[in-house]
Each structure stands twice: as C-alpha cells, then as structure tokens.
Copies of this chain bind each other. A is one copy, B any other.
Amino acid sequence: MTNQAAERIQHEGLRSKIMSAEQAAEFIKNGMTVGISGFTGAGYPKAVPTAIAERAKAAHARGEEFAFGMITGASTAPECDGVLAEANCISFRNPFQSDPALRKSINAGNTAYQDMHLSHVEQQIRNGFYGEMQVAIIEATGITADGKIIPAMGIGHCNEVLKAAKHVIIEVNAKQNPLLETMHDVYFDIGTPPNRQPIPLVKPDDRIGTHYLECDLNKVVAIVLTDAFDRNSKFADPDENSKRIAAQIIDFFSHEVKAGRLPKNLLPLQSGVGNVANAVLAGLLDAPFNDLTGFTEVLQDGMLDLIIAGKMKSASATALSFSPDALQRFNDNIEFLRDKIVLRPMEITNNPELIRRLGVIGMNAMIEADIYGNVNSTHVMGTRMMNGIGGSGDFTRNAFYSFFVSPSVAKDGAISCIVPMVSHHDHTEHDVMFIVTEQGMADLRGKSPRQRAKLIIENCAHPDYRDMLRDYFDRAEKAGGLHTPHLLSEALSWHQRFVETGDMRVK
C-alpha cells in the first residue's frame, strides 16, 4: 500500500478492498445494468472501463456475448465511453453522451440510446424503471475514516447509484484536489411520492445536505487507485459571432433591469455546454452587473472566471468541466472558491421545482431553430444523434427567461440554422422565449406563430437565407395558411437538399 493510498482512503476496512482495475472489472458480467459516474468529462472512472473493454474484447474473441447497460450522469470521455463503445459492449445507454465512438455505435443502432431529461434520471432509477442495477462504478477524491466518500469534480447521479446498485466499485483518483472536500452538498431526502416534502433551497448557494456520498460499506467490492486528469477539453476563444450573440443578450439584460423586470444582479444564470454559451458568460466579465449568481448544470471556464473576477458571488452546479488552463486557475484559487462553488446531485441542479422557484435565466446552444420557434438540440438532419438534450429541457421550460443561441449558419454557409421546420423537435414553440444569432435576437414572448416567423426571419436568419425563408413563409400563407402555415411537402426539403447536395442553398 502506498502512502498516497493511505492518505486518500482513511477507512481501514476499505483499504483491504484495493485491487487492480482488471480485478475490479471481473465484477461486470454480460447483461448487467451498471451505473457509472461522470458528468461532461468530469468525475468519470479512468481505469476500470478500459479493463472492462478488454474483458469484452476477449469474450467476443471467444465467441461469447458481453454487453451491458450503462447509466451515467452525462457525458464521460474517451477512456470511459470511448473504450467501451470501441469494444462494442454498451447494449443500452442513457441519459447523455458526447463521445465520437459511442455516437457512432448509437447511430449504427448497436447501442440503444435513450436521450432523456437529466432531472428524470435519479427518480427513474430509484423507482425501478431500469430494473435492478447490479454494479455502480464511481470516481472519488477520497474516503474518510468513517467510510464517507468525498466526491470528485462532479456528483451527477452518484448519490442514487450508490443506493441502487448491489455492488460498488470506487476509483480513488490522486489527481483530484483534496481541497474539493466540503465543496459538495449532497441532499439525501428527495424521497418518493406520495411522501415528498418541499426541497428547502431558496437561494442558489444554500447548503441543504452533507458534504459526502454514502453507501452501505458492505456493498463496496473494489477500490481502484488512479492518478489521471479529467477530460479537460479546451474551449475555443470567443469568435466574432459569439461576441455578437453575447452582446445582444447583455443588452437585453440591461433593458430589463432598467424596466424593473430584472434585479440589478439579474437572476441565477444557467449556461449550457459549449463554446457559444461559454462566450456569453465571458461577455459578462465586462458587463455592468455585479453580485451575479449561477444555478447551472455544468460550471465551465466562463462562470469560473466570473467568480475569480469577483463579478459572480456564488454558483451551484453538478459538475466542474474546465479546460486545462481553467483547471489550473481553479486549483490556484481553490481556497477562495470553495465556499463560492457548491456541487450538488443532478436531481437538485436540474429540478423543475428549484429552477422555477429561483427564476433561472436559461441559455442553451442549439443545432437549429425553425421560423415558428421550435428548437432542435440533438439531431443532425433529423436522423443523426449528436449528443443529447441533457438538461436543456429541464432549464428551458422552467426558466424565467429562456434563450437559445447559435451562429446563423454552419459549414461555411451551407447549413442555415434557421429553417422552415426543424428536422427534430427537442424544445417546442411553447417553451422557447428568445432566439439569438449573430444577426440579431427574436423576442417570441406573447407572439403568434405568424408573428414569430417574421421576427425570426428578419432578425435571426443569415442574409443568404432570408429570401428563401420569406418565400417559404409567403407561399405557405397563400397555399393554405392557418395558424401555423406550412407546406408539408417542402417543410423538410432544406435538410433533404443538404443530404443530397451538401448545401441547403438552391444553386
């Protein structure tokens, strides 16, 4: 036993469970349902998945079946989703992913993927929607002398899978900063209907639970020591388009504050994953708002920098997902940050009760919107799964203001992000309040579909596509009109044209 192991695992009994990743992987059998920690490239197991993948490949080489169902918090990384998908051993997967190899397996129909609202995950595990969960594999920062688990850079669904699974494997990662201890707030008491009580959180930074994850220690069958960084993907620096999108949202906030509809420090901010959403937060660094708060799912570079700069006083999230540079800033400032950042189970960060109560401002990226305000967050050309809906639905429907952002075109202009009808619907016309591109913003509140169409075409569409969209809308109005004018035989023709010619524009 190394000193490091002794230091990280202070519970004597659990130290005796230390074994290799290969030994731990033996607990995973064909046909199981396995809960695996990990949320947006943070807090996923680093070693056991590779060992499971090797077992799967060996079994497949012997002509044996070896695949299992895998329920995570959200996306993981190449050394988790990636290696397992490449070993072709994920039969079922939910609720969110973003790994290229897994995406390929899903789109090939080899992995049955359920793309779901993150706020539903823990409730549905708890209530047996997925049958029995045989094993949970979670990453931790350490284990206390009384056997409590110090979570890593995220919590996600760990609280639930530790309770649900019959056996537990814990990876203790020496790369995770020991000072993460006490940054977590694990609320245990959400309960099952009809015996639920209100969740007693009324401010984004309220602490309502304990700092640790817990489970019946008799269930812990293996502890594996690791020493590896999280995925830590780099963000693109905000480009001109992202800056223009950010500027419009910030202008709107100023306008609402002036009109008395928003407090001076705004309302708690939620920002989806990705470069554009991150850029909006970067824009707030120079905006005239102070004492901001965050109530979000994933805390990324943009929100971290707002806290370090003293613009944001606190933030709540279920995971920390940083670029390598931001991770350095986080570790350099962790003493300053540890009472300002609180990490919670995803059932709390994404809970409709709390998002509606707090009046969160939701800002999420999209693949495309249509002229009536429906949004596609998940499918390329209607059929190919990209990542998943994640928490965007949980936040959008319950937000005080809900924004969807995207550059107006993609692929050098060959794809318009404003289309006659989205090719897949994740957020409906009933949920979307604002659409923002670098061209402008459409405020859809209190508008009929026809009014929305005019706003979205004139304010948000790229000039290259405006005439085409006006033409579609005009002809749809004249052909039959009605409440939501559409030409059914043309509504998806832009996507079909792209599939056939590689360009939505008519040449």
A residues at B contact (CB < 8 Å): 92, 94, 106-109, 111-117, 123-124, 127-130, 192-194, 196-200, 202-203, 259, 261, 263, 267-268, 351-353, 356-359, 374, 379, 381-385, 389, 393, 397-398, 400, 423-431, 445-448, 450-451, 476-477, 480-486, 488-489, 491-493, 495-496, 499
Contact = CB atoms under 8 A, between A and B. Distances in A.
B198 A202 contact: yes
Given A194-B358, A430-B116, A382 B450 contact: no
Contacts of A428: 393, 425-428
Given A116-B430, A198-B199, A203-B194, A488 B492 contact: yes
Total copies of this chain within the assembly: 2
Contact of A114 (B353, B385, B448, B496): B448
A107 to B, nearest CB: 5
A202 B197 contact: yes
A197 B127 CA distance: 28
Contacts of A484: 379, 382-383, 385, 424
Contacts of A397: 117, 352, 393, 397
B127 A261 contact: yes
B198 A381 contact: no
B492 A357 contact: no
**Considering the complex of A and B, which 5 residue pairs feature the smallest CB-CB distances, nearest first?**
A193-B359, A198-B198, A385-B483, A425-B425, A112-B448
A196 B488 contact: no
Given A445-B129, A480-B383, A488-B499, A267 B424 contact: no
A108 B445 CA distance: 21
A441 to B, nearest CB: 16
A377 to B, nearest CB: 10
Nearest to A423: B488
A194 B359 contact: yes
B261 A194 contact: no
A219 to B, nearest CB: 21
Nearest to A201: B198
Contacts of A116: 430
B493 A492 contact: no
Given A112-B450, A192-B359, A198-B353, 4 more contacts: A106-B448, A353-B357, A428-B428, A488-B493
Contact of A94 (B192, B423, B446, B493): B446
Given A203-B194, A261-B127, A107 B379 contact: no
Contact of A113 (B127, B483, B491): B483
Contacts of A192: 359
